[in-house]
Structure 1
């Protein structure tokens, strides 16, 4: 078998193991969240689990990037899987002894978040080491497919397992899934040359971590692409946090669940399409062009907030996300040298993830501030006029978030260093790439 064929096979094996592990972790996360809420009846305690799922991994991301660049990528992924497996094993022991308490879940969730940072960063760096550049879009679409399928499958499956068996059984399944991921990594005996650790003797870990940021600063195209991603993440986060109260103003929780499932189906279908298609040849169109579509459907959802329109827009937003993300991921993987991938991808992830809680807060404050503010609505937008003051404010936030994404996409197209980011050879600045050679 050719080297590229070997790489694809090895990627498929790793993808299968990581998908199983993601599903196991999602089962445990959902089940433990229900357990904590059932025990404490505290929304704050329940929300704390969500915060601890994200925040610790964001905080350690720069150091994780340094370690991923130093180590064999398989060992970095093994560490992440072993960390998650160890947490799950401790849960199982505590459950069997009848000693599990909410604070155990908080600590375990934080440790699992750090382990997840190792998994995500090394997984992203590993993909271009195994997959030929022309197939990166398809490979990233496959990763997006597993990310879309797991949230659809995990809640109902966890609910069934909890009703049919016990919390201990769910945790045991998660532990087995971690072992499966570790086993698949053990089947991969070698990686292509050039994806190993970089030599950084004489520099501190902090200095090495900052090299990821320094690389971004010198490459305006990637920095512009990151700025676009941050803005669209803010818009999507606003949509995510404001959709439930908007829907519940005009319908019941069952309808809301159906709308959220529609979004999940859009995610899955978009991932499947991206896996089969691979995205546009000029991948920036898969980012900025699809980003314009995403902004448009968000504006439409705010202007015409009927259940039918909200369902359509939720599905289309879900469909756009994996195409946009997989195209962006392929650009990054092709533009960052192997020796810096861990640091750059970790820095990128830290910046992109850190804005999410801020966007949640800003969207809520903005919607509350618009509650009760009087303004006239053109007759064309009758569904918007029929909402109460609070939901009308939420709909206006949808419009603002969509316009923000649209403006960011248009700005990306008008900026040459972003529009032509793929034409900049890895390891060079945009200025160096477009300047004529010296004589």
Structure 2
């Protein structure tokens, strides 16, 4: 714990290059698909290819993350993602790339992320003091936000001047830097029961039990799942809204992504300030949910001439989203035992994203039948309603002040009764 700042500095320096290169590649692929097809269904299928392996594997990867050495897991996962990007580069080089091949390789990249993400999130409480977790989450969000800001800008420039082959190879370089930085740190692994016989289904059940052992945490998870159900499919329509409704191109897409990243950067900065350690984290989550919903609702009412307002709202939604997610991650990190965090994060990701799959499959109907603007209005109003509802659930609100092993006295009395 005494050297946690140095450890995080080394890890973050490598992860920054990895996230930056992934952001460049992500923008380039979405732009290539948009320009090649102009189809809402294709964009939705690309997001589905990215999410589905993450969701399915997430039910199991946490078990292995909690068993295996977490540093080695992150290195292998990053290396596999880089390998997939290298294959994409080869296909673009020979000009043999097809949309279905992009889907497959996006899915394989997602499989690698299904191991890397929970391993990284589960390692944080073992590296930093609990009192510093909000600060760590904020700084981590800021680093990711810088990548989100620079990535689209670099992606738009590189797509204009370079072949897609070289853009894909940037991800290989970024992963190599991230893996190298991890070799210079030690990440402790949680203590395990020596007599416990490995059993995947039992360990998954234990992970689910850790998630729902507390009534307030159970209700909060349900709210977050509902928010994700509306947020993810609607988010898939951002590029189409930029191009189709506002008449933008690669430059405008880049501006939207950069402003989203700037909002996330500001949100991460807010989370990292000392004051945020003392506030009720659930109240923060509820407020950010309402703000996020309000931005979507207003976006759905904008005329074609209001692109500047759309960009400003995108930045606000990025700020709210960064605070929302960082705060929720800290709640999980402080409510769940470190030995189960790998399972909890991976299972949570799967459960929260699973309801969004029907929405993604219906994206074509949403865009053509309901309408792009109406989709944003419906999503926005629904998210605001969930955020407002959570204010009136005492067990959720009390959760914002508790940490593992420190339940409020009132809740303990209720449990005894």
In the alignment, the residues of structure 1 paired with residue 242 and residue 159 of structure 2 have an alpha-carbon distance, to the nearest angstrom, of 29
Distance change (3 Å), C-alpha of 1:56 and 1:26: same
- For residues 195-242 of structure 1, the C-alpha deviation after alignment (integer angstroms, 9 at most, x for no partner) is 355557335212212222122232222222212212222333354355
Compare CA radii of gyration and give the structure with the larger one. 1
- The within-5 A match list for 1:26-425 is 26-31=23-28, 43=39, 48-91=45-88, 98=94, 101-102=97-98, 105-191=102-188, 195-197=190-192, 201-237=196-232, 239-241=234-236, 251-253=246-248, 257=253, 258-259=255-256, 261-276=258-273, 279=276, 281=278, 282-302=280-300, 307=306, 309-361=309-361, 365=365, 394-395=373-374, 397-425=375-403
Once structures 1 and 2 are overlaid, which stretch shifts more, 406-415 or 66-75?
406-415
In the alignment, the residues of structure 2 paired with residue 83 and residue 196 of structure 1 have an alpha-carbon distance, to the nearest angstrom, of 28
Query: 1:183 aligns to what SS in structure 2?
Result: helix
Query: 1:63 aligns to what SS in structure 2?
Result: helix
In the alignment, the residues of structure 2 paired with residue 242 and residue 47 of structure 1 have an alpha-carbon distance, to the nearest angstrom, of 8
- For residues 4-55 of structure 1, the C-alpha deviation after alignment (integer angstroms, 9 at most, x for no partner) is 3x112212211221121122233334445666778x7585666544322221
Contact 1:36 1:46 in 2 (8 A): yes
**Deviation of 1:279 (Å):** 2.8
- For residues 48-75 of structure 1, the C-alpha deviation after alignment (integer angstroms, 9 at most, x for no partner) is 4432222112110121100011112112
Unaligned runs of 5+ in 2: none
Distance change (3 Å), C-alpha of 1:423 and 1:279: closer
In the alignment, the residues of structure 2 paired with residue 172 and residue 250 of structure 1 have an alpha-carbon distance, to the nearest angstrom, of 33
**Deviation of 1:112 (Å):** 1.4
Distance change (3 Å), C-alpha of 1:277 and 1:195: same
Distance change (3 Å), C-alpha of 1:266 and 1:61: same
- For residues 88-124 of structure 1, the C-alpha deviation after alignment (integer angstroms, 9 at most, x for no partner) is 444556667x485446544432221111111111111
Distance change (3 Å), C-alpha of 1:112 and 1:248: closer
Contact 1:200 1:208 in 2 (8 A): no
Contact 2:262 2:315 in 1 (8 A): yes
Query: 1:420 aligns to what SS in structure 2?
Result: helix
In the alignment, the residues of structure 1 paired with residue 77 and residue 275 of structure 2 have an alpha-carbon distance, to the nearest angstrom, of 28
TM-score, normalised with respect to structure 1:
0.80
In the alignment, the residues of structure 2 paired with residue 111 and residue 145 of structure 1 have an alpha-carbon distance, to the nearest angstrom, of 27
In the alignment, the residues of structure 2 paired with residue 185 and residue 158 of structure 1 have an alpha-carbon distance, to the nearest angstrom, of 26
Once structures 1 and 2 are overlaid, which stretch shifts more, 267-276 or 361-370?
361-370
**Deviation of 1:421 (Å):** 1.3
Q: Is 1:25 matched with 2:3?
A: no
In the alignment, the residues of structure 2 paired with residue 42 and residue 369 of structure 1 have an alpha-carbon distance, to the nearest angstrom, of 17
Contact 2:152 2:257 in 1 (8 A): no
**Deviation of 1:156 (Å):** 3.4
In the alignment, the residues of structure 2 paired with residue 130 and residue 435 of structure 1 have an alpha-carbon distance, to the nearest angstrom, of 34
**Deviation of 1:253 (Å):** 1.6
TM-score, normalised with respect to structure 2:
0.83
**Deviation of 1:329 (Å):** 0.8
Query: 2:276 aligns to what SS in structure 1?
Result: coil
